[in-house]
């Protein structure tokens, strides 16, 4: 059992939905990013997705691409990203942290070294968007052997023939992408998401968490009502890009978390 598994077991027992927040490590700078992450649990976040900046983020829209570019320009590295996780764990907080990004920085680090350091830093799971199930031996299976969850994305184009392959070796939760295209491209619609979530849940006992296109507490609530929880990334990163103070960013996150928890 990982912290992710424990969190979802607790939420099920409490009959509550999950709120997952994504932020880019190192955006707008290392210290501010760290302070935001440290404040996320008290803002109601159940799972933290910590973005690993990369030079070619093909699945990300302009807002998150620019966040990654700012982070890299400010000197953010994989090591500094793990340091943010270490800082949260040093407080004693047990909120799960999922490292989300692309395979290249992990490959460059070396898989064995990366997994050892990630585990030591307090990372609980990975979302690596450019590694399909056919490449599970590269990272997915070694990550699970190291005690990390490997979370997979399902999309509106994941049909019934493809879905079993996507779910194979997926642990922790399934991240359902509510729209086709890049992050931040459109608004999520609960009426369209509900049948897709139901279809996925027929094929797995894992929680199904929905992301992409959620910007308001009302949408977070509507999505959480038809899924096991909601993810917000682009909207939060957008507030950071506007130069909002840490407390204002966290206040905004709290409204989203409250919305999802009402679901």
Residue positions counted in the chain: 263
| Residue among 91, 109, 73, 101 nearest 34 (CA) | 91
Residue linked to tokens 């898989």: 111
Q: Could you give the CA distance from residue 206 to residue 98 in angstroms, rounded to a whole number? A: 16
Residue linked to tokens 């879905």: 163
Spacing of C-alpha 168 from chain mean position: 19
Sign of CA dihedral 179, 73, 52, 26: negative
Q: Could you give the CA distance from residue 60 to residue 69 in angstroms, rounded to a whole number? A: 12
Active site residue 60: yes
H/E stretch holding 232 reads: strand 229-232
First to last CA, the chain: 26
The residue annotated as part of the active site, out of 5, 27, 46, 49, is 49
Q: Which residues on adjacent β-strands are paired with residue 23?
A: 50
Sign of CA dihedral 202, 207, 212, 214: positive
Active site residue 49: yes
The residue annotated as part of the active site, out of 5, 60, 124, 196, is 60
Catalytically annotated residues: 49, 60
């Amino acid at each position: 059992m990982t912290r992710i598994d424990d969190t979802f077991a607790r939420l099920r027992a409490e009959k509550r939905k999950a709120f997952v927040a994504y932020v880019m490590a190192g955006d707008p700078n290392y210290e501010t990013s760290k302070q935001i992450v440290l404040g996320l649990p008290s803002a109601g976040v159940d799972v933290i997705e910590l973005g690993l900046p990369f030079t070619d983020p093909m699945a990300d829209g302009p807002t998150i691409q620019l966040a990654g570019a700012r982070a890299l320009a400010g000197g953010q590295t994989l090591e500094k990203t793990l340091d943010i996780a270490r800082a949260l764990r040093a407080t004693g907080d047990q909120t799960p942290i999922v490292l989300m990004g692309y395979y290249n920085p992990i490959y460059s680090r070396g898989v064995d070294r990366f997994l050892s350091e990630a585990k030591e830093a307090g990372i609980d799971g990975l979302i690596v968007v450019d590694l399909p199930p056919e490449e599970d031996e590269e990272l997915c299976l070694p990550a699970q052997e190291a005690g990390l969850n490997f979370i997979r994305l399902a999309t509106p184009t994941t049909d019934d023939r493809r879905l079993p392959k996507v779910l194979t070796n997926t642990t922790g939760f399934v991240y359902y992408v509510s729209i086709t295209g890049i992050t931040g491209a459109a608004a999520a619609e609960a009426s369209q998401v509900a049948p897709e979530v139901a279809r996925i849940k027929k094929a797995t006992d894992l929680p199904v968490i929905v992301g992409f296109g959620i910007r308001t507490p009302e949408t977070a609530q509507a999505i959480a009502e038809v899924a096991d929880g909601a993810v917000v990334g682009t909207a939060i990163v957008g507030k950071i890009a506007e130069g909002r103070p840490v407390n204002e960013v966290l206040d905004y996150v709290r409204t989203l978390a409250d919305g999802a928890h009402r679901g």
